[in-house]
Chain A
Amino acid sequence: MASLTKKENSPYWFCCFTAPDGTRTKRSTKQTDKDKALLVCREYEKAASDAKKLVLTENQAKKVISDIKEKVLPRVEVVQKNIVERPPYTSPLLNSKIPTGPIEEKWNKHKFDLKLVNPANKRKYEVIVVGSGLAGASAAASLAELGYNVNCFCYQDSPRRAHSIAAQGGINAAKNYQNDGDSVYRLFYDTVKGGDYRSREANVYRLAQVSVNIIDQCAAQGVPFAREYGGLLANRSFGGAQVSRTFYARGQTGQQLLLGAYSALSRQIGLGKVKMHTRTELLDVVLVDGQAKGIVVRNMVTGEISRHSAHAVVLATGGYGNVFYLSTNAMGCNVTATHRAYKRGAAFANPCYTQIHPTCIPVSGDHQSKLTLMSESLRNDGRVWVPKSPSISEKIRNGELQPSNVPEAERDYYLERKYPSFGNLVPRDVASRNSKEVCDEGRGVVSSGLGVYLDFSDSINRMGEAAVRERYGNLFDMYEKITGSNAYQNPMTIYPAVHYTMGGLWVDYNLMSNVPGLFAIGEANFSDHGANRLGASALMQGLADGYFVLPYTIGEYLAESGWGDCPDIESSEFLDAEKAVRNRINKLLSIKGKRTPTSFHRELGKIMWENCGMSRNESGLKSAISKLSELREEFWGNLNVPGEKESLNQSLELAGRVSDFLEFGQLMCRDALQREESCGGHFREEHSTPEGEAKRDDENFAFVGAWEHKGDGNEPVLHKEALEYEEVKMTQRSYK
């Protein structure tokens, strides 16, 4: 048996194990973290015993061991590949800290095992929360309620305006109020399966467990959820779920949940426990002795740059869908916070997993600034079609033919044709890819060629216009406001758009990244949705993280690291970070080239959408990577940002975000290239069945892919966290 010991003069753990020649040997693991050290130690031992069993020659084993010693992180993976025939192997960088024991008991046991911070000591701690969406607002409020001092930051003029506000459909919870057979286990099962077996079972189970508390919490805050006449909460089924577990507040669920969290946050601001910094943008994360201890921000009104230190930093900064330029995300959504953290050493997990939503309003022209989602529920009663022949589509595009004049025999209801049992209700990714396919064949029906019909005429004939109006009236109104077209008379046109990003900062079971003291919650982390998120589950995850998980798990880190003074913001780490931020801003302003930040953003989006969007292939991804390098070079040579840094300067803000997206886009392509399989939102053309359906490769790719930054100009390194499924059996999806 291998064991760990400490030596007096060394910060590292030492591993005692039996060498191939039978002697007891002691070696440094070069790790200060005991868990990581243990992993490395097991490698030593395994290598030694394999060598003994003559799987490896002794010399090979010795080399292996010295390799581990030299370059612990990247090598272990390679070494493992050689010894055990289980290729995707967990890197020691990624210790998920999943508690032992049966899945139902893990969270409770873990809560009990976590170190607690004494109530009287909580007020000695400072915590920074960046973001005031569902995740950030709920976390900041809950931490303050517990007694911690919180500084909370957002880029909007009020925390209430975070992008969470835009969610329409609803929030899942395993309440089983409908008595239709729902349970924590079923929600867990559906989420793991929906995520196409690329999420961590233990995290998902916990999410399903705390989902029920979320609804209680929100109802107590006064969130006006939809009710039945008896006064109890109403539910609907959502996104193909077979039970009704979605809670909603008209079509404004995100808004109402966020206003609930915002009210809790406001209360703490009023009490002085949270200091809110609005219109303030995070531009860097500061590490002191390898631990996250602060941030550098810019006041977007005055341009002032300031440094803030704390005992821990929580990022709740949302998703990165705007790397595609056009998406359903709010204009300001960005990757800056998580990308800066990545550049400071936090691993970025599964960046290639993006969700494309099939029912959005198509692009109307070059002026398009963002896309609007039309609720998925429309597919319950609308039929998707395009003309069978491209020539008819062309006539429609030129305005020579109206859709109502296309005879039935000339229409291709392609989802009903290809997927007779699911028809128009196939999952988001399948519906999206098929729309793209028919449009690529020249059968699209809007002027850009990128749009298909969602036709309600059969439903109107069947149940009458009034019934359709009752169900979807507000959506039809919204559609008319944007397009000027009446969907009761003409079929709607829809096209897929980027909607959600499953990737994010890698976090362990405690929601802490591999950088101690740096936590990531909500859409900003990678944890619970695997390769595909189910409808109504993002709101659930954001609030689960913020109200019920992080407030406990952060205590473990804080208790361990103690409440000594926060690092001095005059220390060199802080001053250096500020200097780097200032240099970047000066650089952006001094290029004085010809192109606007938006024009770069648009071009970036186009490259990403074409090569790393709905479907991907090796040559496209490779060409995108090189195109992005060129674009980045042009950006830094030909960008035009007018104005000053000491004032409200929206071009400067945008330029900063675009510069991060330009780097990050490449990481997404790298990840998509590495993942030689199709799963969830990631579709590799090379890995599909002859019918064009996704082909997952569980043998080789059942892992979380987390990237470690190795300095500008160097290739990032991929680390793998193996995913093990003990509860849910892996199966291949089929919607035929």
Chain B
Amino acid sequence: MGKLLNLKLRVWRQDNAEDSGRFEEYDAKGVDTDMSFLEMLDVVNEDLLEDGKEPIAFDSDCREGICGTCSMVINGTPHGGQKGTTACQLHMRQFSDGMTITIEPWRASAFPVQRDLVVNRSAFDRIQQSGGFISVRSGSVPDANATPVAKEDADLAMDAAQCIGCGACVAACKNASAMLFVAAKLSHLSLVPQGQPERERRALAMVQKMDEEGFGSCTVTGSCEAVCPKEISLDFIARMNREYGMALIRKGTV
């Protein structure tokens, strides 16, 4: 067992998308430093339930930092500010006794709140549906080793492909831009030879969809990279801009 902390929580409570929402305060007493942040919330929720109150709704699934479900702004920073760490991987030993912790949902008009800390991120799915794929049918493909991929390209593609689609980049950005997310997907697919045939179509379609969904524009403040739990690099945004520029020149209607 670790040390025990007494904390104050200020948590965003909102009944549904229409409700205007408010902060509520809770005491979290005897929090074991070995707990994860979400386990701390579990314990607070069990106490609320025992008092006949409704628990705080928040999203999580894998609790291993890989599914991208957990999504909360902790003391002003999406995922809580530990480098390369999702909220579910954050542990209470990062906090000190007596602290007040403010917990809010992602805030972006493209991610409407559904309840408390739960938001709707389906805009990300729709961006993917607009072109975030390589069009191959099941079964009609060549042998995997028929197309060699330089290790450097494969590794870089993997760096980009690690994005977990959590949306922290959007939540951190003052413009609520989704550039880092889209750049990661575009870069992943344009770095492998299999992605070449649809490269331009893809860039045009995904960027257009991103704009339609109401994400803001990028002013390269870098706040996205700073909070990204997978440490997706800003370089991919530069790559995406080049990609989009080229596609516009060759195919786009400006």
Interchain CB contact under 8 A, B194 and A161:
no
Interchain CB contact under 8 A, B147 and A219:
yes
| CA A165 to CA B122, docked complex, whole Å | 18
Measured between beta carbons, the chain A residues less than 8 angstroms from B145 are 175, 177, 232-233
B150 at interface, CB cutoff 8 A:
yes
Q: Which residue of B lies closest to A276 (CB)?
A: B125
Measured between beta carbons, the chain B residues less than 8 angstroms from A551 are 138
Interchain CB contact under 8 A, B149 and A165:
no
Interchain CB contact under 8 A, A481 and B125:
no
CB distance from A554 to the nearest CB of B (A): 13
Q: Given A228-B151, A229-B151, A369-B63, do A642 and B133 touch, yes or no (CB 8 Å)?
A: no
Interchain CB contact under 8 A, A256 and B161:
yes
B57 at interface, CB cutoff 8 A:
yes
Task: From B46-54, B214-222, B240-248, give the one contacting chain A.
Answer: B46-54
Number of B residues near A (Cβ < 8 Å) is: 82
Measured between beta carbons, the chain A residues less than 8 angstroms from B38 are 369
Q: Given A163-B62, A266-B128, A372-B64, do A278 and B49 touch, yes or no (CB 8 Å)?
A: no
Interchain CB contact under 8 A, B138 and A157:
no
| CA A145 to CA B151, docked complex, whole Å | 32
Q: Which residue of A lies closest to B161 (CB)?
A: A224
CB distance from A375 to the nearest CB of B (A): 12
| CA A157 to CA B114, docked complex, whole Å | 11
Interchain CB contact under 8 A, A159 and B39:
no
Interchain CB contact under 8 A, B49 and A364:
no
Q: Which residue of B lies closest to A247 (CB)?
A: B144
| CA A218 to CA B192, docked complex, whole Å | 12
From B89, B135, B164, A481 is in contact (CB under 8 Å) with B89
Interchain CB contact under 8 A, A255 and B46:
no
Interchain CB contact under 8 A, A157 and B132:
no
Measured between beta carbons, the chain B residues less than 8 angstroms from A548 are 138-139
Number of A residues near B (Cβ < 8 Å) is: 80
A264 at interface, CB cutoff 8 A:
yes
Q: List residues 246-267 of chain A with CB under 8 A from any CB of chain B.
A: 249-250, 252, 255-256, 259, 262-264, 266-267
A629 at interface, CB cutoff 8 A:
no
| CA A250 to CA B161, docked complex, whole Å | 11
Q: How many A-B residue pairs have CB under 8 A?
A: 225
Measured between beta carbons, the chain B residues less than 8 angstroms from A219 are 141, 144, 147, 194
CB distance from A645 to the nearest CB of B (A): 13
| CA A551 to CA B114, docked complex, whole Å | 36
A647 at interface, CB cutoff 8 A:
yes
| CA A515 to CA B54, docked complex, whole Å | 40
Measured between beta carbons, the chain A residues less than 8 angstroms from B101 are none
Q: List residues 59-73 of chain B with CB under 8 A from any CB of chain A.
A: 59-69
Interchain CB contact under 8 A, B35 and A145:
no
Q: Which residue of A lies closest to B162 (CB)?
A: A252
CB distance from B60 to the nearest CB of A (A): 6
Q: Which residue of B lies closest to A650 (CB)?
A: B57
Q: Given A157-B121, A232-B148, A270-B130, do A142 and B188 touch, yes or no (CB 8 Å)?
A: no
| CA A484 to CA B33, docked complex, whole Å | 9
CB distance from B131 to the nearest CB of A (A): 8
| CA A158 to CA B69, docked complex, whole Å | 9
A330 at interface, CB cutoff 8 A:
yes
Measured between beta carbons, the chain A residues less than 8 angstroms from B133 are 221, 263-264, 266-267
Measured between beta carbons, the chain B residues less than 8 angstroms from A642 are 49, 52-55
Q: A211-223 CB contact bits vs B (8 Å, 1 = yes)?
A: 0010111111110
| CA A594 to CA B52, docked complex, whole Å | 9
Q: Given A228-B151, A647-B16, do A365 and B1 touch, yes or no (CB 8 Å)?
A: yes
Q: Given A224-B161, A372-B64, do A367 and B32 touch, yes or no (CB 8 Å)?
A: yes
| CA A409 to CA B157, docked complex, whole Å | 49
Q: Which residue of B lies closest to A231 (CB)?
A: B148
Interchain CB contact under 8 A, B138 and A367:
no
Q: Given A158-B125, A230-B148, A547-B139, do A166 and B64 touch, yes or no (CB 8 Å)?
A: yes
A643 at interface, CB cutoff 8 A:
yes
A332 at interface, CB cutoff 8 A:
yes
From A158, A222, A372, A598, B46 is in contact (CB under 8 Å) with A598
CB distance from A735 to the nearest CB of B (A): 30
From A222, A367, A640, B189 is in contact (CB under 8 Å) with A222
Interchain CB contact under 8 A, B144 and A175:
yes
CB distance from B45 to the nearest CB of A (A): 8
Q: Which residue of B lies closest to A141 (CB)?
A: B138
Interchain CB contact under 8 A, B61 and A216:
no
Interchain CB contact under 8 A, B16 and A364:
no
Q: Given A145-B137, A231-B148, do A482 and B118 touch, yes or no (CB 8 Å)?
A: no
Measured between beta carbons, the chain B residues less than 8 angstroms from A165 are 62, 66-67
| CA A175 to CA B144, docked complex, whole Å | 10
B107 at interface, CB cutoff 8 A:
no
Measured between beta carbons, the chain A residues less than 8 angstroms from B35 are 364-365, 367
Closest 10 CB pairs of A and B: A231-B148, A263-B133, A220-B141, A270-B129, A219-B144, A224-B158, A364-B34, A142-B138, A224-B157, A648-B115
Binding site for A on B (CB under 8 A): 1-2, 15-16, 32-36, 38-40, 42-43, 46, 49-50, 52-55, 57, 59-69, 82, 85, 89, 91, 93, 114-115, 118, 120-122, 124-125, 128-139, 141-145, 147-151, 154-155, 157-158, 161-162, 164-165, 188-189, 191-192, 194-195
Can you list 18 A-B pairs with a CB-CB distance of less than 8 A?
A156-B67, A158-B122, A220-B134, A224-B155, A224-B157, A224-B158, A231-B148, A233-B144, A259-B161, A266-B132, A276-B125, A301-B114, A367-B43, A482-B36, A484-B2, A596-B46, A598-B42, A642-B54
Given contact pairs A367-B43, A599-B46, a sample of 9 additional A-B residue pairs in the complex whose CB atoms are under 8 Å apart: A159-B125, A161-B61, A161-B69, A221-B134, A365-B1, A367-B35, A369-B36, A547-B138, A551-B138
